[in-house]
Chains A and B, each alone.
Chain A
């Protein structure tokens, strides 16, 4: 069988499954990034808060989830989550083992990790807003929520785009680790294809190329967003 057939979309080809795997990887990372955005915003707010307990809790979160290996977190969420689910099931009279779906476990685990990185990105972005602009917002009579909506959020997003692009790239690669739970993502599919055809080079290179396509395409997307957002920056003068 030739390369074209093996990687093709015919009956004996692995192309369709690989693309499905890539799609799964994309979905998992996107879910994780969104979850991480919510967690990151909350944790960043906690770390910037004047409340000492909130600051400590936020610091604990970012220290733990940035400092422990990703694989360990994934195992912890998958197996820990499953045994918790089994215990809850037992309480309600459901017999036997209940597994946490691997997509949910994976998205949760990667989301927790990228939430910690995003928290630092948002915190840095907030600190980049000139303090005087916040004072001007207070001085004109904006209440707290309005200040957040009109002055803080748009500027945090603008300053955070490069950092978020970085976190996205890392999360996309971290998502490969979720394959240990049996999720049919791009990594797992490449592995299965390589194993059953014994064409290791071919499938791992094909998988690698698909990862590269995903990362380089998203890189361009983030670059575009960055250019749009920096229209108001001094460096934007030359771009007009």
Chain B
């Protein structure tokens, strides 16, 4: 494939205390890739996602975002980023969507969406507002722009959170179990937004338990087990005959 590598992760290790959560994970995401990360809870998939934008700092390994390597140094025996500035800049290029939405509760929906472009990217307010309104329209909650997060349903909040991340024009979107905190009837509206993003060619890494999304929307599925990549392939391969016994057992628990 000739498309550019948006994200390259090499040999990530991470331990909490004596518990080794990630044991050498590597992954390349090319332009337009939609990669679903599957695995039982405790398999390390959320930690892996959080290591990419340094909400957790990996003990070892290399992260390259759109050709720029995150510089790390060893301080007091621990691996830490060499430059906070670089970390902030790279984070601004990675959109993150959390399981529990994490909208800023003291701001209206519109303020949440313009916050990043206005104060982090320092772009003109009028431009930020115009783009934010277009994004809110796109995720279907334009009429809620002056409401506060607490007054919205979970599905609406998550769509607002996606709009907030998109407002930064990220190179890669990271989704950390975006539908796991939602009531079943609200899952669909969020998945629809994610699906249309995928169709527009957004590069996405999605930690999820939604098998239908992994199977029908993503072009690559990675199954993690005990901090390692167990299986890696297209949905056709994995859900067809190529999956490992562990993967078969895992999807068996979902009844699919």
Contacts and interface: CB of A to CB of B under 8 A. Distances in A.
Nearest to B100: A132
A135 B102 contact: yes
A49 interface: no
Nearest to B98: A132
B119 A136 contact: no
Contact of A139 (B85, B96, B105): B96
A144 B150 CA distance: 26
Interface residues on A, range: 20 to 34
Contacts, number: 81
B115 interface: yes
Contact of B105 (A133, A140, A146): A133
Interface in A166-217: none
B102 A133 contact: yes
B104 interface: yes
22 contacts: A130-B102, A133-B103, A135-B55, A136-B98, A136-B103, A136-B104, A136-B161, A138-B91, A139-B55, A139-B96, A140-B91, A140-B92, A140-B96, A140-B120, A140-B165, A141-B91, A142-B116, A143-B85, A143-B88, A232-B148, A233-B105, A237-B150
Contacts of A237: 150-151
A231 B107 CA distance: 10
B106 interface: yes
A233 B150 contact: yes
A148 to B, nearest CB: 12
Interface string A54-93: 0000000000000000000000000000000000000000
Nearest to A240: B151
A33 B150 CA distance: 32
A221 B218 CA distance: 56
A234 interface: yes
Contacts of A232: 105-108, 148-150
A30 interface: no
Interface residues of B, number: 34
> Among B104, B107, B150, B164, which residue has the most Cβ atoms of chain A within 10 A?
B104
Interface stretch (A7-15, A17-25, A95-103, A150-158): A150-158
A26 interface: no
Contacts of A140: 91-92, 96, 115-116, 120, 164-165, 168
A41 interface: no
Given A232-B107, A234-B150, A141 B102 contact: no
A137 interface: yes
B75 interface: no
Identify which of A132, A133, A139, A233 gathers the most chain B CB atoms within 10 Å of its CB: A139
Contact of A141 (B107, B148, B149, B168): B168
Nearest to A233: B150
A72 B115 CA distance: 49
B19 interface: no
Closest 9 CB pairs of A and B: A141-B92, A132-B102, A232-B148, A136-B102, A139-B96, A141-B91, A234-B150, A140-B116, A141-B88
Contacts of B94: 139
A146 B148 contact: no
B241 interface: no
Interface in B81-124: 84-85, 88-94, 96, 98, 100-108, 115-116, 119-120
B53 interface: yes
